[in-house]
Amino acid sequence: MAVEQAGEPSFDSSQAGFERYWQSQGEWVEEPNRRRGGESGVQRVILPDQNMIYVKRQVGHIYRSPLHPFGRPTVLRERDALQGLSKLQVRVPRLLFCGARRDQAVGWKALLVTASLDGFEEITHWYEKGGRERYGEALHDQMLKDLAINLARMHQGRWQHSCLYIKHVFVRVTETASGPKAEVALLDLEKCRRRFTAAAASQHDMKQLRRHSSFSDADWKKLLYFYETAFGSVVKGLER
């Protein structure tokens, strides 16, 4: 369920690819900011063939873990999540390139390049523009169900998003022969990680989404019903 567009370049892991993407320039959609001992930012870049990509560029931006006590670029964790979730048919941006190298002057330099989520927009913007009123409650329920299915697949694979705010949920409505269809995608997987159990991943993320979303009580109950149906069990300790 990873989002793909016809004519997009395939995944590239070459050194030439690293240099090409590192030198690419575009509009900053996330200005470089200092954190984790380094700097990270995201640019929107238009390729010569007019395809749009997003380039996350990092210098010295690392995380530490028991497996990587000396530090590892965060884009490598995000790459692992994108690849893992794609295999689970969770709708996420399509990965085009990821690479990291050490530089004597600045330490780690790292890149993560993804294809544009064409037609998708942040769900809060979709609400603000009147998407719910335009398409009606049947499509809104379908959107909640698609979100629930994507979340359940992620958690069944023991992946925890770890930063599941409503702003990281994107929606697209397309016209089909049978009427409008809603699709949901998940973004910002930089903190995504595996948990020992699906239940642990589920409880963390669903509680976080409840705290950091503006779903009404009625909409939350619908989302939770769809989620627990797809996940196969009740999420313990969750507000209903």
Strand 52-59 with 38-46, pairing: antiparallel
| Mean per-residue pLDDT, 6-22 | 63
pLDDT digits 0-9 by tens, 78-121: 999 999 999 999 999 999 999 888 877 777 889 999 999 999 99
Domains of the chain in start order, with CATH, are 15-115 (3.30.200.20), 121-229 (1.10.510)
pLDDT digits 0-9 by tens, 125-142: 999 999 999 999 999 999
Does the pLDDT at position 172 exceed 70? yes
Tokens 């023991």 locate to 158
| SS3 sequence of 170-238 | EEEEEEECCEEEEEEEECCCCCCEECCCHHHHHHHHHHHHHHCCCCCHHHHHHHHHHHHHHHCCCCCCC
3-state secondary structure of 33: strand
For 136-139, the CB contacts below 8 A with 24+ separation are 139/173, 139/180, 139/181, 139/182
| Mean per-residue pLDDT, 221-236 | 94
| Cα atoms in the 13 Å half-sphere on the side-chain side of 186 | 32
Residues 6+ apart with CB under 8 A from 55: 21, 24, 26, 42, 43, 45, 111, 112, 113
pLDDT digits 0-9 by tens, 24-76: 889 998 888 876 568 889 999 998 888 899 999 999 888 777 777 777 888 99
pTM here?
Answer: 0.88
